[in-house]
Structure 1
Amino acid sequence: MTAEIPGAVEAPEPTGAAPVRPRPRPHRNKVPEVTPYFWVIKVLCTTVGETAADLLNEKLGLGLTGVSLLMSAVLVGVLVAQFRTAAYRPGVYWSAVAMISVVGTLLSDNLTDNLGVPLETSTVAFALVLGAVFAVWFRSERTLSIHHIDSTRRESFYWLAVLFTFALGTAAGDLVAERLDLGYSLSAVLFAAALAVVAAARSLGLGAVGSFWTAYILTRPLGASLGDYLSQPTTDGGLGMGTVITSVLFLAVILGLVVFLTVTRRDVSGPGRGTPQQG
């Protein structure tokens, strides 16, 4: 029971006023800031993509096609989780990168090993497909910047581009390694030098978008060369650590870095730094 105040006049309810609608939630970028952590984890994911693809193909006994179908199904599940987040989540995001690295590797390997497509042909084909993805993306959104991956359509273009950078990097890396016969260690040095050239060009005025995607492609064969150097037998020019040890080692480092970034938010800019973003 509430006490009535003598003489009080009840205010009439407003009529015709527009209903108050909840303010829409701001869209936040679904991709981390490009920091040294970004490139370190990217290379590690690339290495795992190479060694894990070899490991699964050897140990599961499903054949290249069976492993490809299995990993593609896992990738779809991870991407569904990624698309359902409202903001960048280190664990979900980097799981998607690691899985897309495996699938991109298998995509190139299937063309070469199962269908007999020459590496020259697959390299050119992947480059053309990637160029088409970028062209449609830019025509639709007027930008290829990863700082504005804040809608479902932009995120779809982003992950499609990432898939074909991995496939292109795999084909191009195998092409260079087989044609030049440099060995794993020298191949890694070659691709590291190419990345240094991109970094120098960026400091001299190369556009941020172009330099980012060029570096993203080059880190694929760099990581693959490192993975092969560590895992392959000494008779083949490697260190003989094997795919199991190499994969577990790199996965452990990735996990440690992802946990660190989840806690510290070092790869998040703006008001989200230091506090978890709500999903």
Structure 2
Amino acid sequence: MTSDTYSRPGAARGHGLRLNKVPEVTVYFWAIKVLCTTVGETGADYLNSQMGLGLTGTSLVMSVLLVVALIVQFRATAYRPGIYWLAVVLISVVGTLISDNLTDNLGVPLQDTTAAFAAVLAVVFVAWYRAERTLSIHNIDTVSREVYYWLAVLFTFALGTAAGDLVAEQLSLGYWVSAVLFALAIAAIGVAHFAMGLNAVWSFWIAYVLTRPLGASMGDYLSQPTGDGGLGLGTTVTSVLFLAVILALVVYLTVARRDSTERRELIQRAD
């Protein structure tokens, strides 16, 4: 699925060499996104339980790291795979922790957090569209668009966490069945987009939300004890394994530039 339905090339020309700050939506994009969501789940569990930081301590540490990563991301003038995907990994952990804090520390019911995150995400999208007249990620080439983009990403992770936990707890399907269910939902969105003409932007963002509970279900299935329906690999092994795959893919994309829009945009602007 792509996400392009609207373009404002003139809006970016006034920013000199500032180019699109996010990658092309390819199979690499979706693969790394799902891996990041898995790390968001297992990484938060590891820091919370294995490292003994607790939800509050983990939230503080990861929020500080996320702020640093986003500062570096905003200072870049174009998409850089290492910087971008580091920010996504960290924001996946923070988005998970926001939901977990509300549920576990404050006792807010999952149905309430799910509804609240959906409402906040809708507000972000409305404000973004009113300001920029597009929600396409092919035009993240100004500071304001990048702010809206990362806010949307943060709340998609929080919403996906709450919605995924709600489905898992209410339906008690188990990790593997939950993963299959969310994979089928994503496939349905793909069919609706390619075969039935569902709007590309909305197809992208709906799939983006759904990849969060998909990745979380995969992470839980691999990491949780066999008695709880998992494979018993543990959060440490699962997190390291997925981080290694993410690193390998990011290194490949940095060298091969298979998901970079920089060359195409420079040619377009020269014309």
TM-score, normalised via structure 2 length: 0.91
**Aligned mate of 2:23, from 21, 32, 35:** 32
Which residue identity does 2:228 align to in structure 1? D
Q: 1 or 2, which has the higher helix percentage? A: 2
Match of 1:225 in 2: 217
Question: What SS does the corresponding residue of 2:231 show, helix, strand or coil?
Answer: coil
**Aligned mate of 2:107, from 101, 108, 116:** 116
Which residue identity does 2:121 align to in structure 1? L
Match of 1:62 in 2: 53
Distance in 2 (alpha carbons) for counterparts of 1:247 and 1:117? 28
Match of 1:145 in 2: 136
Q: What percentage of residue pairs aligned between the two structures are identical?
A: 70
Shift of 1:188: 0.1
Structure 1, unaligned stretches of length 5 or more?
A: 1-22, 274-279
Distance in 2 (alpha carbons) for counterparts of 1:62 and 1:199? 40
Question: What SS does the corresponding residue of 2:92 show, helix, strand or coil?
Answer: helix
Shift of 1:53: 0.1
Distance in 1 (alpha carbons) for counterparts of 2:225 and 2:51? 20
Shift of 1:46: 0.3
> Does the CA contact (< 8 Å) of 2:20 and 2:261 recur in 1?
no
Q: State the aligned residue count.
A: 251
**Aligned mate of 2:230, from 224, 228, 238:** 238
Question: What SS does the corresponding residue of 1:116 show, helix, strand or coil?
Answer: coil
Shift of 1:24: 6.5
Distance in 2 (alpha carbons) for counterparts of 1:98 and 1:262? 17
Distance in 1 (alpha carbons) for counterparts of 2:15 and 2:151? 28
Shift of 1:66: 1.1
Matched, 1:47 2:38: yes
Match of 2:254 in 1: 262
Structure 2, unaligned stretches of length 5 or more?
A: 1-13, 266-271
Distance in 2 (alpha carbons) for counterparts of 1:154 and 1:258? 24
Distance in 1 (alpha carbons) for counterparts of 2:262 and 2:223? 40
Instruction: Evaluate the alpha carbon distance shift between residue 238 and residue 218 of structure 1 in structure 2; reply closer, same or farther with a 3 A threshold.
Output: same
User: Which has the larger Rg?
Assistant: 1
Moved over 3 A (4+): none
Residues 73-120 of structure 1, C-alpha deviations (whole Å, 9 max, x = no match): 000000000000000000000000000000000000000000000000
TM-score, normalised via structure 1 length: 0.88
